[in-house]
Amino acid sequence: MDATFLAEQVATGMASPTELLEDALARVAKLNPEINAVVLVQEYTARKAIKAGLPNGPFKGVPFLIKDLGAEAIDFPTHSGSNLLRDTTYSFDSEIYRRIRRTGMVTFGRTTSPEGGIGPVTESAVYDGPTRNPWDTSRTAGGSSGGSGAAVAAGIVPMAHGSDGGGSVRIPASSCGLFGFKATRARFPDGPASGEGWGGMAIDGFLSKSVRDNARMMDACTGPDKGAPYASPPMQVSFSKAITRPPHRLRVAVCDTTFTGAPIDPECKKAVDKTAQILEDIGHHITLDCPKADHDGMMRAWTKIVACGTASWIQKAANSKGQDLAHVNIQGVARGAVKYAQSISGADYLNAINTIHAYGREMERVFDNCDILLSATLSEPPAKVGRFNHDREDYENYRIGPGGVFEYSPFCATFNASGQPAATVPMHWTTNGLPVGVHFASAFGEDATLIALCAELEEVSPWAQKYQQCSLRA
């Protein structure tokens, strides 16, 4: 039962918003102690919204959760994954939250995030424990939108808000067997709290069971807010319209290694090969090729930009509380990011931004010879809890050193840097029942083509029945 189905139940009187909310709250009470995904529950706010009358949007009456990072809202305090920002309140609603609210969704809480959103796992000290994967609670649900991934996979809500600055929607979607879409840069609003995130690499998004849910929500949120510094190219057709018919037969370049040619886990390669065969069987044109660009240089630049962004919010928070930066209550990776940022000059930062922009131009040329780039989403199945914990302070090594984050997630950040749309589709499960996502990307602005292909795959190789096999739900 996806969000679209539940909204139809409300519209026809087969269910009420209050009943759906109470069901979601009951699932939180039952499942959250095991997965630690839902925080800062605001039941009174949700009931008040129902009583006041919900907007007649596409998801009227459906329960919803927003990530505990960004999505600023008056009625929803936040920790932003950090003890330093514990119980922060806002005097304004972000534009992305205002648009979500207009869909008729009943937001009743937030979902866990790593501190500042800088990890591929969700293990923040402010939540008193890691967020766990409903398919196997010894595994991570991913990050940084890990709580959203776990909550949707466990069936607490059918769809949840996330954000993605280096894979933070797609990593947990892949880890939890969900559909996740990162739209073209600036497709959604960032204001009024900021003009852009991480040099334009970060963007909001959604984790869902179905492609159609994501399409309808993205349609509701598309477009810049007033005064935005820049905007994405307008879409020629809406997300929802795009998924009503298959795309023309596409040229699909398949990379079954990392983009630098390193091998990936056999289960991830199997997922790529299986998906490529399905696409070929339905008429798409398949070639083996990996994108040629300065991937290592991009990731070094990405690491600098994110370190500076992390240092910025920590410095601001410390100043607002009158605290010494050296003694604020933050975890090891965040502290390491601050130290690393202090070694980066203004000129270094601008050079990193220019490196990212040059990389985006390299990646755009890749699509001169193909329409879609297919790879794995991660280089291996979901990691064990604790493998990427935030206790260590060697931030640079954590990100790009041996055995670090970039080796684990070598695909996703590419498209944050390039600004191109990218998606993860749940096309494979291991023999042990772990989800393995397959990753697709297209040229800048070609969101409609990309989501049309994702919908076609959902049609020919449906995954909805898989959710009943999720160990926590069973």
Give the pLDDT of residue 474: 46
3-class SS string, 331-400 = CHHHHHHHHHHHCCCHHHHHHHHHHHHHHHHHHHHHCCCCCEEEEECCCCCCCECCCCCCCCCCHHHHHH
The model carries a pTM of 0.98
* 3 state DSSP class of 267: helix
pLDDT in tens, 71-80: 999 999 999 9
**Strand ranges, E, within 316-421:** 372-376
CA separation for the pair 161, 450 (Å, rounded): 20
Give the pLDDT of residue 326: 87
State the DSSP string of 423-452: EEEEEEE-TTS-EEEEEEEESTT-HHHHHH
Residues with Cβ within 8 Å of residue 114, at least 6 apart in sequence: 81, 121, 122, 123, 124, 143, 144, 146, 390
pLDDT in tens, 259-274: 999 999 999 999 999 9
* 3 state DSSP class of 63: strand
> CATH topology for 3-469?
Amidase signature (AS) enzymes (3.90.1300)
Strand partners, 188: none
At CA 194, angle to CA 191 and CA 197, rounded to 5?
A: 110
Asked whether 110 and 101 are in contact (CB, 8 A), the reply is: no
pLDDT in tens, 288-329: 999 999 999 999 999 999 999 999 999 999 999 999 998 999
* 3 state DSSP class of 268: helix
Tell me how far CA of residue 358 lies from CA of 7, 75, 197, 417, 446, in angstroms.
44, 41, 19, 10, 20
CA separation for the pair 176, 276 (Å, rounded): 22
Give the pLDDT of residue 471: 74
**Regions in the chain scoring below 50 on pLDDT:** 474
What is the domain partition of the chain in residue ranges?
3-469
Amino acid at 347: A
Give the pLDDT of residue 472: 79
Helix axes 447-460, 211-221, angle to 10 degrees: 160
Asked whether 238 and 274 are in contact (CB, 8 A), the reply is: no
CA separation for the pair 395, 410 (Å, rounded): 17
Amino acid at 410: P
CA separation for the pair 471, 135 (Å, rounded): 5
**CA gyration radius, the chain:** 20
CA separation for the pair 147, 264 (Å, rounded): 26
Q: What is the DSSP letter of 160?
A: E
Give the pLDDT of residue 473: 65
CA separation for the pair 144, 412 (Å, rounded): 12
